[in-house]
Amino acid sequence: MSIMTTGEELKNLRESILEQMPPETRFTEQDARTMQQYRMLFLSLADQLVTGFYDMLYQHHQTRQIFTEDERPQREITLKQWWQRVCYGPFDDHFWDWMTFVGLVHVVRGVNNPMMISAWGFVSEKVMEKARASLPPERVYELQGAMIRFGQTFSALISESYLKNYLEMIAGATGTDEKLVELLVKMGRQDFKGQIPGLKKDLDLAHH
């Protein structure tokens, strides 16, 4: 594989990532119906989420380095557009291709996976706080399940796309053949496999 430059490459990467996820962990059509059932709850959070999201990122020293002050209005527009799509759907192949493409964008912008995962945690926490305050417990449980699978699915797409494109950039920058990179990783796995017990002991993790 090379860095995504065509829709077909994007589609193939998206499909290969989703195939790695057990079906029970993926976002479903029922999950989409559940989330859109609570569309008004989601919409009521839009302004608070967008402002709080970027306040958080601009206040933290590592995430602040990714942005310039003058780009915040445009970044907020992008997040609002994404949130509108979450509220209204559809959660179709185009949406999941978009999430897969974000992995490449994050490589280019320097947005690491811990930043992405924790940022989603902020969003999901705010949604569930609102749900617990306004919905009966059985509805909260239903929405929570859909939100968990939604987060798992798009996080898997973004993070694995990030990794694939990161490695491809290294291969391209060093003039290394893609297959050679894969071979070196496989060799490294074999080398470290026998070292794991010793490393666990040295790190006082032998009981895990």
Q: pLDDT per residue over 126-150, tens digit each?
A: 999 999 999 999 999 999 999 999 9
**What band does 112 get if pLDDT is binned at 50, 70 and 90?**
very high
User: Closest by alpha carbon to 158, among 65, 82, 81, 72?
Assistant: 82
**What band does 195 get if pLDDT is binned at 50, 70 and 90?**
confident
Q: Is 204 helix (H, G, I), strand (E, B) or coil?
A: coil
**What band does 16 get if pLDDT is binned at 50, 70 and 90?**
very high
User: Closest by alpha carbon to 150, among 127, 134, 132, 169?
Assistant: 127
Amino acid 188: pLDDT: 81
Whether the pLDDT of residue 102 is over 80: the answer is yes
Peptide bond into 90 cis (omega under 30): yes
Between CA 123 and CA 163 the distance in angstroms is 23
Q: Is 111 helix (H, G, I), strand (E, B) or coil?
A: coil
% of the chain beyond a pLDDT of 90: 75
Taking the domains of the chain in order of start, what are their residue ranges? Answer: 7-176, 177-208
157 neighbors 20 (Cβ within 8 angstroms) = no
Residue whose entry in the numeric block shows the structure tokens 């305050």: 133
Query: Which one-letter DSSP state was computed for residue 4?
Result: -
> Whole-model pTM?
0.89
125 neighbors 53 (Cβ within 8 angstroms) = no
User: Closest by alpha carbon to 3, among 165, 176, 167, 171?
Assistant: 165
Q: Which fold has domain 7-176?
A: Globin-like (1.10.490)
Section 74-87 average pLDDT: 96
**What band does 207 get if pLDDT is binned at 50, 70 and 90?**
low
Amino acid 190: pLDDT: 79
Amino acid 122: pLDDT: 97
Between CA 164 and CA 94 the distance in angstroms is 20
Whether the pLDDT of residue 208 is over 70: the answer is no
Q: Indicate the burial class of 7 (C-beta count within 10 angstroms; 0-12, 13-18, 19 or more).
A: exposed
Section 150-166 average pLDDT: 96
User: Between these two residues, 68 and 205, which has the higher pLDDT value?
Assistant: 68
Between CA 59 and CA 164 the distance in angstroms is 30
98 neighbors 156 (Cβ within 8 angstroms) = no
